[in-house]
Structure 1
Amino acid sequence: MIKVVRGNPTPEELAAALAVVQARAAATAASGQAAGPPAPPAEWSAPARIAHHRLPAPGPRAWARTYWPG
């Protein structure tokens, strides 16, 4: 349902606005895009994939091993 909240459109203006809304809805349906929430991010970008090892033990060279374990 569409409700005009401000102004007084002519029937032609209202028909044009409805045509745009319907065309947009048809294009979205034709492209297969869902109107739902976006897809979750891919697993390759998960921070847990990088930090799956234990943190290094504290010591004199621990600063060098804080990001990439091994």
Structure 2
Amino acid sequence: MAPFLQVVRGDPTPEELAAVVTVLTARARAATPPPAPRPRSAWADPTRRLRRTLPHGPGAWRASSLPH
């Protein structure tokens, strides 16, 4: 595997090399877009726990058990 960085001139200290690697890593991460959020499953939707209002008026008892 080829080296990612290669020092061509000079004799950098380990701290200088670490600074260069940090800057290059930060720039590479800033250039890549964040991953798209996954869609929320209907099973995990908290609105499913809310109860619908029951119908009122004549025949309401029959309409209360019919699917919407």
Same fold (TM > 0.5): no
Q: Which has the larger radius of gyration?
A: 2
Report the TM-score when normalising by structure 1.
0.42
Higher relative contact order (CA 8 A, sep 6+): 1
